[in-house]
Structure 1
Amino acid sequence: MKRFYKGAAVGAAPASASGAGFQVELDGRPIRSPAKAPLVFRSQALAQGVAAEWEAQGDKIDAAAMPLMQLASTAVDLVPAKRGEIVDAVSAYAETDLLCYRAEHPETLVERQARVWQPLLDWAALHYDAPLRVCAGLMPQPQAPEALRALRNVVEGYDDWTLAALQTVTGACGSLIVALALLEGRIDAAEAFEASQIDESFEIERWGEDSETTKRRELLRLDIDACRRFVDLLRA
């Protein structure tokens, strides 16, 4: 799509039952979601972040270059309609969380996984009262129902906007624990990427990296960074 506006700015959204908010305006006209729903931001900082994405577009609009806009649209168009399904899908990651399945060899990888992953599992156990069991190998191991229930309660407690980010970053990391640690400030985006890519990074160190792998990892890195920034701006 060609750029159809001269500039993007943030304005006050019309008062509603949900209270005051902010809207992104293109040449003075408020943007809407892809499903034509109003986009009202409760955070001025997040609205400014989305406006900056629109302002940075060139002659053609590149939706992939607007991750904050994409997450906001998901929060408005998708999450309310499919909240139960999303909570189920995100919570299910805890049943087979990446951090719980450790390599048996080589020792270098075993040590690296334990050094990076175990502190995150310890944090989740203390922070959420949700201790998860660790095993060697890839065969699924059952987790305690109490721990799974505690983590599900956390997921259910997020508002639609934060849940949109949690859904994206959990899928990107393959781990609910890494995603929660990222959104709650236990780790930053670079640490989340490192934790979620330990096995891949180890293989790259041994055998090298092809262009497709490089591209895929960069997209994951961008997704993780965008989700952390989205939540930071949402809470600002």
Structure 2
Amino acid sequence: MLAGRQPAGRKRFWKEADVVQEAEGFAVRLDGRTVRLPAGTALSVPSRALAEALAAEWRAAGLGESGRFVPADLPLTGIAGSMLERIPQARDGVIQSLLAYANSDLLCYRDAAGSALARQQAEVWDPLLQQLEAAHGCRLTVTSGVMPICQTDDVLRRLYHVLGTSAQEELAVLGVVVPALGSLALGLLMFEAGMEAQILVHAATLDEQIQMATWGVDTEVTDRIAALQDEVGCAMRFLALYRQG
């Protein structure tokens, strides 16, 4: 580290993190003071289970040798902040940003027709697109190659309705999962019964996994897949805790 340069992150400034029930929900406190998000909103959620998980993040943050912490140490808090501040203030903008992924959805762009890779993509991705259609009536257009396509107006209207009727906590987790996976379809499938993070990540990284099966393991790729698994798993855990109450 260069002389005079401070370590990344902020210094831990609290000793204890706990949860207290208030009129509006369960608030996370540091040394008796409620945590405030960047815009001043209290870190308070309607689920005790989620609040306890948030408090656990704060208890663990900054316990390393440096005594410092970064936002990546508080992933659940980051999603809660989006739910409590970003979504209420810019809901339609968030919805439009998510909807834009429909025209670039990973599952809709395949290798050249007839290739071995295209067949494997169809084997994994087609059932997922069929599941999306069964759930929401949205049949996404699929193409071969990288030339951009536009989904039909009917599909976009249906997807807009799905997003527009989603709860704030659902939009908050979609805001993490959709960009991470590069797929609105996979993000919406996250809400289907029995869906697991591993299935979503496997679908999103199919091409890389097929290449490694042919050419050998690339540790950079496996590290990226593992990080993606953690990111998606954290978002799904947030939603499960929120719904647990």
| TM-score (norm. length: structure 1) | 0.89
Aligned to 2:17: 8
Residue type matched to 2:232 in 1?
I
1:212 Cα shift?
A: 4.4
Aligned to 1:55: 59
Query: Deviations for 1:83-108, whole angstroms, at most 9, x for unmatched residues?
Result: 22111110121123211122126844
Count of aligned residue pairs for this structure pair: 231
Mapped contact 2:208–2:221 kept (Cα < 8 A)? no
1:11 Cα shift?
A: 1.0
Judging changes above 3 Å, is the alpha-carbon distance between structure 1 residues 137 and 212 closer, same or farther for their aligned structure 2 residues? same
Aligned to 2:191: 183
Give structure 1 regions of 4+ aligned residues with deviation exceeding 4 angstroms: 208-212
1:210 Cα shift?
A: 4.8
1:28 Cα shift?
A: 2.0
The answer on 1:165 being equivalent to 2:173 is yes
Mapped contact 1:166–1:183 kept (Cα < 8 A)? no
Aligned to 1:72: 80
| Cα distance in 2 between the residues matched to 1:90 and 1:158 | 12
Aligned to 1:206: 214
Decide which of 64, 88, 91 is 2:99's aligned counterpart: 91
Decide which of 122, 147, 157 is 2:155's aligned counterpart: 147
Query: Deviations for 1:96-142, whole angstroms, at most 9, x for unmatched residues?
Result: 32111221268442232112211111111111011112222222233
| Cα distance in 2 between the residues matched to 1:175 and 1:164 | 15
| TM-score (norm. length: structure 2) | 0.86
| Cα distance in 1 between the residues matched to 2:186 and 2:108 | 11
The answer on 1:137 being equivalent to 2:145 is yes
**SS at 2:28's partner residue?**
strand
**Which consecutive residues of structure 1, in runs of 5 or more, have no partner in the other structure?**
none
1:35 Cα shift?
A: 2.4
Judging changes above 3 Å, is the alpha-carbon distance between structure 1 residues 197 and 180 closer, same or farther for their aligned structure 2 residues? same
User: Counterparts of 1:101-112 in structure 2 under 5 Å?
Assistant: 101-104=109-112, 107-112=115-120
**Which consecutive residues of structure 2, in runs of 5 or more, have no partner in the other structure?**
1-9
* Aligned alpha-carbon RMSD (Å): 2.0
Mapped contact 2:105–2:182 kept (Cα < 8 A)? yes
Mapped contact 2:113–2:144 kept (Cα < 8 A)? no
| Cα distance in 2 between the residues matched to 1:33 and 1:207 | 46
